[in-house]
Amino acid sequence: MAQIAKGLEGVVVSDTALSHIDGERGRLIYSGYDIADLAHGATFEEVAHLLWLGHLPDEAELAELKAKLAGFRELPAAVVDTIRALPKTAEPMDVVRTGVSALGAAQRFSGPASVEHAMVLTASMPSIVAAFDRLRRGLEPVAPRSDLNHAGNYLYLLSGEVPSEQRTRALDTYLTLTADHGLNASTFTARVIASTLSDMGSAVVGAIGALKGPLHGGAPALVLDMLRSIGKPENAEAWLTAALDRGERLMGFGHRVYKAEDPRARVLRSLAERTSEIDFFKLAVRVEDLALKMLHERKPDRKLYTNVEFYSAAVMHGVGLPDDLFTPTFAVSRVTGWTAHVIEQLKDNRLIRPASEYVGPVGLTFVPLERRSTRAPA
Protein backbone atom coordinates (compact mmCIF):
# COMPACT_ATOMS: atom_id res chain seq x y z
CA MET A 1 0.00 0.00 0.00
CA ALA A 2 1.27 3.48 -0.88
CA GLN A 3 2.27 5.81 1.94
CA ILE A 4 -0.35 8.55 2.16
CA ALA A 5 0.54 12.09 3.24
CA LYS A 6 -2.77 13.47 4.48
CA GLY A 7 -3.16 17.08 3.42
CA LEU A 8 0.05 16.62 1.32
CA GLU A 9 2.00 17.51 4.45
CA GLY A 10 5.73 17.41 3.76
CA VAL A 11 5.20 16.67 0.05
CA VAL A 12 7.14 18.98 -2.28
CA VAL A 13 5.20 19.45 -5.52
CA SER A 14 6.88 22.51 -7.02
CA ASP A 15 9.84 24.83 -6.79
CA THR A 16 9.34 28.58 -6.46
CA ALA A 17 11.35 31.78 -6.40
CA LEU A 18 8.49 33.77 -4.83
CA SER A 19 8.47 33.10 -1.10
CA HIS A 20 10.21 30.87 1.41
CA ILE A 21 9.04 29.94 4.90
CA ASP A 22 11.57 28.81 7.49
CA GLY A 23 9.13 27.40 10.01
CA GLU A 24 11.72 26.35 12.56
CA ARG A 25 13.35 29.78 12.80
CA GLY A 26 10.22 31.85 12.17
CA ARG A 27 11.36 33.54 8.95
CA LEU A 28 9.50 34.55 5.80
CA ILE A 29 11.35 35.57 2.63
CA TYR A 30 9.91 37.21 -0.49
CA SER A 31 12.21 36.65 -3.47
CA GLY A 32 15.31 37.00 -1.31
CA TYR A 33 14.12 39.78 1.04
CA ASP A 34 13.21 39.32 4.70
CA ILE A 35 9.56 40.17 5.30
CA ALA A 36 10.39 42.53 8.19
CA ASP A 37 12.65 44.62 5.94
CA LEU A 38 9.94 44.84 3.28
CA ALA A 39 7.22 45.65 5.81
CA HIS A 40 9.26 48.49 7.29
CA GLY A 41 10.84 49.85 4.12
CA ALA A 42 8.75 49.00 1.05
CA THR A 43 5.22 49.75 -0.13
CA PHE A 44 2.67 47.20 -1.26
CA GLU A 45 3.18 48.29 -4.87
CA GLU A 46 6.92 47.66 -4.61
CA VAL A 47 6.24 44.18 -3.24
CA ALA A 48 3.77 43.48 -6.04
CA HIS A 49 6.45 44.43 -8.57
CA LEU A 50 8.91 42.13 -6.78
CA LEU A 51 6.54 39.17 -6.91
CA TRP A 52 5.37 39.71 -10.49
CA LEU A 53 8.64 40.77 -12.11
CA GLY A 54 11.32 39.34 -9.84
CA HIS A 55 13.00 42.52 -8.59
CA LEU A 56 12.24 45.63 -6.59
CA PRO A 57 11.41 48.55 -8.91
CA ASP A 58 13.40 51.71 -9.43
CA GLU A 59 11.52 55.02 -9.32
CA ALA A 60 10.49 54.93 -12.99
CA GLU A 61 9.31 51.31 -12.80
CA LEU A 62 7.33 52.01 -9.65
CA ALA A 63 5.67 55.08 -11.19
CA GLU A 64 4.72 53.02 -14.25
CA LEU A 65 3.27 50.21 -12.12
CA LYS A 66 1.25 52.60 -9.94
CA ALA A 67 -0.15 54.34 -13.03
CA LYS A 68 -1.21 51.04 -14.55
CA LEU A 69 -2.84 49.82 -11.35
CA ALA A 70 -4.72 53.12 -11.01
CA GLY A 71 -5.95 52.74 -14.59
CA PHE A 72 -7.46 49.33 -13.86
CA ARG A 73 -9.36 50.31 -10.69
CA GLU A 74 -12.69 51.24 -12.26
CA LEU A 75 -14.99 48.24 -12.59
CA PRO A 76 -16.83 47.44 -15.84
CA ALA A 77 -20.52 48.33 -15.59
CA ALA A 78 -21.46 44.66 -15.88
CA VAL A 79 -19.49 43.85 -12.74
CA VAL A 80 -21.13 46.64 -10.74
CA ASP A 81 -24.55 45.49 -11.99
CA THR A 82 -23.75 41.94 -10.89
CA ILE A 83 -22.78 43.12 -7.40
CA ARG A 84 -25.86 45.35 -7.25
CA ALA A 85 -28.08 42.35 -8.04
CA LEU A 86 -26.79 40.31 -5.08
CA PRO A 87 -28.64 40.32 -1.75
CA LYS A 88 -27.36 42.93 0.70
CA THR A 89 -27.14 40.12 3.23
CA ALA A 90 -24.75 38.07 1.09
CA GLU A 91 -21.51 36.93 2.67
CA PRO A 92 -18.77 39.30 1.46
CA MET A 93 -16.45 36.48 0.34
CA ASP A 94 -19.26 35.11 -1.82
CA VAL A 95 -19.56 38.57 -3.36
CA VAL A 96 -15.80 38.76 -3.98
CA ARG A 97 -15.88 35.35 -5.67
CA THR A 98 -18.86 36.34 -7.81
CA GLY A 99 -17.45 39.77 -8.60
CA VAL A 100 -14.12 38.36 -9.78
CA SER A 101 -15.95 35.77 -11.87
CA ALA A 102 -18.01 38.55 -13.48
CA LEU A 103 -14.82 40.55 -14.03
CA GLY A 104 -13.24 37.56 -15.77
CA ALA A 105 -16.25 37.29 -18.07
CA ALA A 106 -16.25 41.03 -18.80
CA GLN A 107 -12.48 41.31 -19.31
CA ARG A 108 -12.05 37.97 -21.11
CA PHE A 109 -8.59 37.09 -19.84
CA SER A 110 -7.66 35.39 -23.09
CA GLY A 111 -4.21 34.11 -23.98
CA PRO A 112 -1.45 33.17 -21.53
CA ALA A 113 -1.69 34.58 -18.01
CA SER A 114 0.26 37.83 -17.87
CA VAL A 115 1.42 40.53 -15.48
CA GLU A 116 -1.26 42.79 -16.96
CA HIS A 117 -3.93 40.25 -16.02
CA ALA A 118 -2.43 40.22 -12.50
CA MET A 119 -2.62 44.02 -12.37
CA VAL A 120 -6.27 44.07 -13.48
CA LEU A 121 -7.28 41.57 -10.80
CA THR A 122 -5.24 43.22 -8.05
CA ALA A 123 -6.48 46.71 -8.89
CA SER A 124 -10.11 45.58 -9.17
CA MET A 125 -10.38 43.56 -5.96
CA PRO A 126 -10.68 46.59 -3.60
CA SER A 127 -13.28 48.10 -5.93
CA ILE A 128 -15.37 44.92 -5.76
CA VAL A 129 -15.23 44.72 -1.96
CA ALA A 130 -15.96 48.42 -1.47
CA ALA A 131 -18.79 48.55 -4.04
CA PHE A 132 -20.65 45.80 -2.20
CA ASP A 133 -20.02 47.29 1.23
CA ARG A 134 -21.40 50.65 0.16
CA LEU A 135 -24.38 49.20 -1.67
CA ARG A 136 -25.40 47.08 1.33
CA ARG A 137 -25.29 50.26 3.44
CA GLY A 138 -27.59 52.06 1.00
CA LEU A 139 -24.77 54.13 -0.54
CA GLU A 140 -23.58 54.31 -4.13
CA PRO A 141 -20.04 53.19 -5.00
CA VAL A 142 -17.56 56.04 -5.37
CA ALA A 143 -15.10 56.43 -8.22
CA PRO A 144 -11.53 55.34 -7.45
CA ARG A 145 -8.80 57.93 -6.88
CA SER A 146 -5.70 57.74 -9.06
CA ASP A 147 -3.75 60.02 -6.69
CA LEU A 148 -3.91 57.54 -3.79
CA ASN A 149 -1.84 54.41 -3.36
CA HIS A 150 -3.42 50.94 -3.33
CA ALA A 151 -4.16 50.90 0.41
CA GLY A 152 -5.31 54.52 0.54
CA ASN A 153 -7.62 54.06 -2.44
CA TYR A 154 -9.17 50.97 -0.83
CA LEU A 155 -9.98 52.87 2.36
CA TYR A 156 -11.29 55.78 0.30
CA LEU A 157 -13.56 53.50 -1.74
CA LEU A 158 -15.07 52.17 1.49
CA SER A 159 -15.63 55.48 3.28
CA GLY A 160 -15.70 58.13 0.54
CA GLU A 161 -13.14 60.09 2.58
CA VAL A 162 -9.39 60.36 2.09
CA PRO A 163 -7.84 58.31 4.92
CA SER A 164 -5.13 59.53 7.26
CA GLU A 165 -1.51 58.71 6.51
CA GLN A 166 -1.36 56.53 9.63
CA ARG A 167 -4.32 54.39 8.59
CA THR A 168 -3.07 54.15 5.02
CA ARG A 169 0.41 53.08 6.10
CA ALA A 170 -0.99 50.52 8.56
CA LEU A 171 -3.13 48.87 5.90
CA ASP A 172 -0.29 49.07 3.36
CA THR A 173 1.95 47.18 5.79
CA TYR A 174 -0.72 44.54 6.38
CA LEU A 175 -1.13 44.05 2.62
CA THR A 176 2.64 43.65 2.26
CA LEU A 177 2.84 41.09 5.07
CA THR A 178 0.11 38.86 3.63
CA ALA A 179 0.78 39.17 -0.13
CA ASP A 180 2.30 35.69 -0.39
CA HIS A 181 3.03 32.75 1.86
CA GLY A 182 4.38 29.71 0.08
CA LEU A 183 2.15 26.94 -1.21
CA ASN A 184 -0.81 27.49 1.10
CA ALA A 185 -4.24 26.04 0.28
CA SER A 186 -5.50 28.93 -1.86
CA THR A 187 -2.21 29.39 -3.71
CA PHE A 188 -2.04 25.65 -4.42
CA THR A 189 -5.61 25.85 -5.74
CA ALA A 190 -4.61 28.68 -8.08
CA ARG A 191 -1.61 26.72 -9.34
CA VAL A 192 -3.70 23.57 -9.92
CA ILE A 193 -6.17 25.55 -12.01
CA ALA A 194 -3.38 27.33 -13.89
CA SER A 195 -1.74 23.97 -14.64
CA THR A 196 -4.79 23.04 -16.74
CA LEU A 197 -4.08 26.13 -18.90
CA SER A 198 -7.25 27.80 -17.69
CA ASP A 199 -7.25 31.61 -17.49
CA MET A 200 -5.98 33.84 -14.70
CA GLY A 201 -9.48 34.88 -13.62
CA SER A 202 -10.56 31.27 -13.11
CA ALA A 203 -7.45 30.55 -11.05
CA VAL A 204 -8.19 33.50 -8.76
CA VAL A 205 -11.87 32.54 -8.39
CA GLY A 206 -10.78 29.09 -7.24
CA ALA A 207 -8.25 30.58 -4.84
CA ILE A 208 -10.96 32.81 -3.32
CA GLY A 209 -13.09 29.72 -2.70
CA ALA A 210 -10.21 28.12 -0.80
CA LEU A 211 -9.43 31.27 1.18
CA LYS A 212 -13.04 31.55 2.32
CA GLY A 213 -12.69 28.49 4.57
CA PRO A 214 -12.22 29.19 8.29
CA LEU A 215 -9.15 26.92 8.39
CA HIS A 216 -7.41 29.27 5.97
CA GLY A 217 -8.60 32.86 5.65
CA GLY A 218 -11.45 33.26 8.09
CA ALA A 219 -9.52 33.41 11.37
CA PRO A 220 -8.93 37.18 11.95
CA ALA A 221 -12.63 37.85 12.50
CA LEU A 222 -12.77 34.88 14.88
CA VAL A 223 -9.88 36.41 16.86
CA LEU A 224 -11.87 39.60 17.22
CA ASP A 225 -14.91 37.59 18.37
CA MET A 226 -12.72 35.95 21.03
CA LEU A 227 -11.31 39.25 22.28
CA ARG A 228 -14.76 40.82 22.45
CA SER A 229 -16.06 37.80 24.33
CA ILE A 230 -13.26 38.18 26.91
CA GLY A 231 -14.00 41.90 27.15
CA LYS A 232 -11.42 43.06 29.72
CA PRO A 233 -7.84 42.06 30.59
CA GLU A 234 -8.94 40.94 34.06
CA ASN A 235 -11.34 38.41 32.48
CA ALA A 236 -8.68 36.82 30.29
CA GLU A 237 -7.27 34.14 32.60
CA ALA A 238 -10.63 32.68 33.59
CA TRP A 239 -11.97 32.81 30.02
CA LEU A 240 -8.90 31.15 28.49
CA THR A 241 -8.75 28.51 31.20
CA ALA A 242 -12.39 27.58 30.65
CA ALA A 243 -11.92 27.46 26.85
CA LEU A 244 -8.89 25.19 27.11
CA ASP A 245 -10.65 22.97 29.68
CA ARG A 246 -13.44 22.50 27.12
CA GLY A 247 -10.87 21.52 24.49
CA GLU A 248 -11.53 24.60 22.36
CA ARG A 249 -8.96 26.08 20.02
CA LEU A 250 -7.63 29.55 20.88
CA MET A 251 -7.88 31.65 17.76
CA GLY A 252 -4.68 33.33 16.56
CA PHE A 253 -2.28 30.74 17.96
CA GLY A 254 -0.48 27.90 16.22
CA HIS A 255 0.40 27.40 12.56
CA ARG A 256 0.72 24.43 10.23
CA VAL A 257 4.24 25.49 9.17
CA TYR A 258 5.70 27.77 11.87
CA LYS A 259 7.22 26.10 14.93
CA ALA A 260 8.28 29.52 16.20
CA GLU A 261 6.55 32.89 16.30
CA ASP A 262 5.10 33.90 12.95
CA PRO A 263 7.41 36.76 11.78
CA ARG A 264 4.41 38.66 10.46
CA ALA A 265 2.90 38.68 13.96
CA ARG A 266 5.95 40.54 15.30
CA VAL A 267 5.46 43.37 12.81
CA LEU A 268 1.70 43.46 13.29
CA ARG A 269 2.01 43.65 17.08
CA SER A 270 3.98 46.88 16.77
CA LEU A 271 1.55 48.16 14.17
CA ALA A 272 -1.47 47.32 16.34
CA GLU A 273 0.00 49.32 19.20
CA ARG A 274 -0.04 52.42 16.97
CA THR A 275 -3.42 51.88 15.33
CA SER A 276 -5.64 50.26 17.97
CA GLU A 277 -7.44 51.88 20.85
CA ILE A 278 -5.27 51.68 23.97
CA ASP A 279 -7.71 49.51 25.95
CA PHE A 280 -8.16 47.12 23.05
CA PHE A 281 -4.42 46.74 22.56
CA LYS A 282 -3.89 46.13 26.29
CA LEU A 283 -6.54 43.40 26.13
CA ALA A 284 -4.85 41.79 23.11
CA VAL A 285 -1.42 41.80 24.78
CA ARG A 286 -2.82 40.33 28.01
CA VAL A 287 -4.62 37.58 26.10
CA GLU A 288 -1.51 36.80 24.06
CA ASP A 289 0.75 36.58 27.11
CA LEU A 290 -1.61 34.32 29.04
CA ALA A 291 -2.53 32.16 26.04
CA LEU A 292 1.11 31.46 25.19
CA LYS A 293 1.89 30.58 28.81
CA MET A 294 -1.09 28.22 29.07
CA LEU A 295 -0.49 26.58 25.68
CA HIS A 296 3.17 25.94 26.47
CA GLU A 297 2.23 24.44 29.85
CA ARG A 298 -0.58 22.24 28.53
CA LYS A 299 0.87 21.30 25.13
CA PRO A 300 4.66 21.58 25.45
CA ASP A 301 5.39 19.43 22.38
CA ARG A 302 3.08 21.37 20.04
CA LYS A 303 5.23 24.55 19.73
CA LEU A 304 2.23 26.88 19.55
CA TYR A 305 3.00 30.56 19.03
CA THR A 306 1.17 33.71 17.95
CA ASN A 307 0.27 33.64 14.27
CA VAL A 308 -0.52 36.36 11.74
CA GLU A 309 -4.27 36.33 12.40
CA PHE A 310 -4.05 37.45 16.04
CA TYR A 311 -2.77 40.98 15.47
CA SER A 312 -4.24 41.19 11.95
CA ALA A 313 -7.58 41.47 13.71
CA ALA A 314 -6.36 44.38 15.82
CA VAL A 315 -4.84 46.20 12.84
CA MET A 316 -7.86 45.82 10.55
CA HIS A 317 -10.17 46.81 13.40
CA GLY A 318 -7.92 49.79 14.06
CA VAL A 319 -8.09 51.10 10.49
CA GLY A 320 -11.88 50.91 10.60
CA LEU A 321 -12.72 47.81 8.57
CA PRO A 322 -15.96 45.97 9.41
CA ASP A 323 -15.37 42.48 10.85
CA ASP A 324 -16.79 40.66 7.85
CA LEU A 325 -14.39 42.46 5.50
CA PHE A 326 -11.31 41.03 7.23
CA THR A 327 -11.13 37.95 4.98
CA PRO A 328 -11.98 39.91 1.80
CA THR A 329 -9.14 42.28 2.74
CA PHE A 330 -6.86 39.25 3.07
CA ALA A 331 -7.90 38.43 -0.52
CA VAL A 332 -7.16 42.02 -1.60
CA SER A 333 -3.58 41.34 -0.51
CA ARG A 334 -3.14 37.67 -1.44
CA VAL A 335 -4.38 38.10 -5.03
CA THR A 336 -0.90 39.48 -5.69
CA GLY A 337 0.72 36.23 -4.63
CA TRP A 338 -1.89 34.08 -6.36
CA THR A 339 -1.33 35.80 -9.69
CA ALA A 340 2.46 35.66 -9.28
CA HIS A 341 2.23 31.91 -8.69
CA VAL A 342 0.03 31.47 -11.76
CA ILE A 343 2.65 33.24 -13.87
CA GLU A 344 5.41 31.13 -12.33
CA GLN A 345 3.47 27.88 -12.80
CA LEU A 346 3.11 28.51 -16.52
CA LYS A 347 6.82 29.13 -17.05
CA ASP A 348 7.50 25.40 -16.59
CA ASN A 349 4.05 23.89 -16.54
CA ARG A 350 3.00 20.33 -15.94
CA LEU A 351 -0.59 19.39 -15.19
CA ILE A 352 -0.91 18.88 -11.42
CA ARG A 353 -2.54 15.48 -11.11
CA PRO A 354 -1.73 13.59 -7.87
CA ALA A 355 -2.75 9.99 -7.33
CA SER A 356 -5.00 8.52 -4.63
CA GLU A 357 -5.07 5.15 -2.90
CA TYR A 358 -8.33 3.27 -3.57
CA VAL A 359 -9.81 1.74 -0.40
CA GLY A 360 -13.28 0.82 -1.68
CA PRO A 361 -14.69 -2.65 -2.45
CA VAL A 362 -13.65 -4.80 -5.43
CA GLY A 363 -15.18 -7.79 -7.19
CA LEU A 364 -18.84 -6.82 -6.76
CA THR A 365 -21.29 -8.50 -9.11
CA PHE A 366 -23.44 -6.16 -11.19
CA VAL A 367 -27.19 -6.76 -10.82
CA PRO A 368 -29.67 -5.16 -13.31
CA LEU A 369 -31.97 -2.56 -11.80
CA GLU A 370 -35.15 -4.68 -12.01
CA ARG A 371 -33.49 -7.48 -10.00
CA ARG A 372 -32.08 -5.36 -7.18
CA SER A 373 -33.80 -5.75 -3.83
CA THR A 374 -34.75 -2.68 -1.82
CA ARG A 375 -32.18 -2.03 0.88
CA ALA A 376 -33.46 -1.93 4.42
CA PRO A 377 -32.94 1.46 6.06
CA ALA A 378 -29.76 1.65 8.15
Question: Contact at 8 Å (CB) between 28 and 20?
Answer: yes
Amino acid at 137: R
Q: Provide the whole-model pTM.
A: 0.91
Strands 19-22 and 27-30: antiparallel
Hey, which residues are catalytic here?
A: 255, 309
Domains of the chain: 15-215+325-347 (1.10.580.10), 219-318 (1.10.230.10)
Q: Under 8 Å CB-to-CB from 245, ≥6 apart: which residues?
A: none
CA-angle at 264, arms to 122 and 11, nearest 5°? 80
Q: Under 8 Å CB-to-CB from 237, ≥6 apart: which residues?
A: 290
Residue 188 to residues 107, 185, 313: CA-CA distances in angstroms? Answer: 24, 5, 25
Question: Contact at 8 Å (CB) between 19 and 31?
Answer: yes
pLDDT at 258 (0 to 100): 73
Q: Is 377 helix (H, G, I), strand (E, B) or coil?
A: coil
Task: Detail the DSSP E strand segments found in the chain.
Answer: 19-22, 27-30, 33-34
pLDDT at 206 (0 to 100): 98
pLDDT at 255 (0 to 100): 75
Question: Contact at 8 Å (CB) between 244 and 250?
Answer: yes
Grouped pLDDT means (10 residues each) for the chain, 378 residues: 68 88 89 96 98 98 98 97 98 97 91 93 98 98 97 98 95 96 94 96 97 80 90 95 93 78 89 88 93 91 84 90 94 98 96 90 94 69
How far apart CA 235 and CA 228 sit, in angstroms, is 11
Q: Under 8 Å CB-to-CB from 18, ≥6 apart: which residues?
A: 30, 31, 51, 180, 337, 340, 341, 344
